[in-house]
């Protein structure tokens, strides 16, 4: 193999090493929920890539073993191919500058080793690691298919290596895990937030907001619920004048639309819609309101209303509508808890 061919092969091995490093960090740091969202709403190709990235995260032990195997092979190949080629290219150069023949080989070897090590650390390790950490989801998706293809080809060897590793861990009482544990209890999160605030990693406003958010994690919406009897409402067939009268009397812009039975809530009507569409009946303008059990926690209720793009929610107890909860009530409780 010529020196030029060896150097070109070394460049390819260096690139391969960087890709395996990036894949290793990306599969650990990528947020699975973001990948799942992309898999649900993207185009066909994007969905395929995102699903592969999600599967990589679910097979974390196997994928990390694949990354380590790839890094090891590339690193060994880089040392075997690139270092001798660079050394051979440098020997004549040192001869031209008057270095004694007995010293040319060790000096050329030292320079070649230093250069390859520098390139390996910077271009093959640190740069791809930083890219994967700052663009985790993009890296996970960009490398998902080739990385998964490599692990599929090497699966028998990786399964054997994983089995040996897990057996060794069990001897020391360590239980292997295949997925990254990211779930934290509210108490653990509160400790993390408190420590981050103490070390100055969070400013005071951020610390206070996170602390309040965690303090309401287990609270239900029942104490915040307004009785349904106090809700402002109009009948399903009320005319525009009646809608305006109720809105002026109750000082509410959002009104419940009910049928013949008070429990028959058709949805929520905004007075603006009645003004923009004169002649339309409330039953035609009503927007469905999410129903929340009284035992629903504040964070879950907030997420439900936000997902439904609703300002009001109906609170139920044993299947019956007993109250009303608004997005403002939930946000105020979160900010002032």
Q: Per residue in 55-78, pLDDT tens? A: 888 888 888 889 999 999 999 988
Distance between CA atoms of 255 and 86, rounded to whole angstroms? 79
> What tokens does 82 get?
């690139």
**Separate counts of helices (H) and strands (E) for the chain:** 16, 7
> What tokens does 246 get?
């109720």
Distance of CA 21 to the CA centre of its chain: 20
25 in Cβ contact with 139 (< 8 Å): yes
H or E segment and range at residue 265? strand 265-270
> What tokens does 204 get?
């005071």
Query: Contacts for 325-329 with beta carbons within 8 Å, 24 or more apart?
Result: 325/221, 325/224, 325/225, 325/226, 325/292, 325/301, 327/302, 329/224, 329/226
> What tokens does 84 get?
């001798």
Distance between CA atoms of 280 and 238, rounded to whole angstroms? 9
> Hey, which residues does 50 pair with through a beta bridge?
none
Tokens 């965690």 appear where?
A: 214
pLDDT of 197 reads 61
pLDDT tens per residue, range 88-147: 887 887 777 777 877 777 888 888 888 888 988 998 899 999 988 888 888 889 898 999
Distance between CA atoms of 104 and 101, rounded to whole angstroms? 5
pLDDT of 18 reads 92
For the domain covering 222-336, report its CATH number: 3.10.580.10
pLDDT of 328 reads 84
Q: Are strands 291-293 and 226-227 parallel, antiparallel or unpaired?
A: unpaired
Distance between CA atoms of 6 and 75, rounded to whole angstroms? 14
335 in Cβ contact with 209 (< 8 Å): yes
Domain boundaries, the chain: 3-171, 186-215, 222-336
Tally of CA atoms within 13 A in the half-sphere of 189 that contains its CB: 14
Q: Which of 319, 310, 317, 314 is nearest to 327 (CA)?
A: 310
Residues in the chain with pLDDT < 50? 182-184
């Amino acid at each position: 193999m010529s020196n030029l061919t060896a150097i070109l092969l070394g460049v390819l091995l260096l690139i391969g090493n960087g890709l395996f490093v990036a894949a290793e960090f990306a599969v650990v740091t990528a947020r699975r929920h973001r990948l799942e969202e992309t898999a649900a709403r993207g185009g066909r190709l994007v969905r395929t890539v995102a699903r592969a990235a999600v599967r990589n995260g679910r097979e974390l032990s196997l994928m990390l073993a694949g990354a380590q195997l790839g890094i090891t092979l590339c690193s060994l190949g880089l040392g075997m191919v690139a270092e001798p080629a660079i050394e051979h290219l440098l020997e004549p150069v040192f001869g031209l500058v008057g270095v004694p023949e007995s010293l040319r080989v060790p000096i050329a070897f030292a320079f070649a080793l230093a250069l390859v090590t520098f390139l390996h650390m910077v271009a093959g390790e640190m740069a791809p690691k930083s890219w994967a950490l700052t663009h985790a989801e993009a890296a996970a998706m960009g490398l998902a298919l080739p990385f998964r293809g490599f692990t599929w080809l090497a699966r028998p060897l990786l399964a054997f290596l994983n089995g040996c590793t897990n057996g060794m861990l069990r001897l020391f009482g360590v239980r292997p895990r295949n997925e990254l544990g990211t779930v934290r209890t509210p108490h653990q999160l509160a400790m993390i937030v408190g420590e981050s605030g103490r070390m100055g990693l969070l400013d005071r406003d951020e610390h206070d907001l996170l602390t309040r958010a965690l303090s309401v994690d287990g609270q239900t919406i029942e104490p915040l619920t307004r009785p349904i009897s106090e809700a402002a409402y109009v009948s399903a067939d009320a005319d525009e004048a009646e809608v305006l009268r109720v809105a002026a009397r109750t000082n509410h812009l959002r009104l419940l639309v009910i049928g013949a039975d008070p429990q028959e809530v058709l949805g929520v009507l905004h007075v603006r819609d009645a003004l923009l569409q004169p002649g339309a009946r409330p039953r035609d303008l009503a927007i469905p309101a999410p129903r929340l059990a009284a035992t629903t926690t504040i964070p879950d209720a907030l997420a439900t209303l936000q997902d439904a793009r609703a300002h009001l929610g109906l609170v139920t107890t044993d299947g019956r509508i007993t109250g009303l909860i608004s997005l403002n009530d939930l946000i105020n409780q979160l900010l002032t808890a």
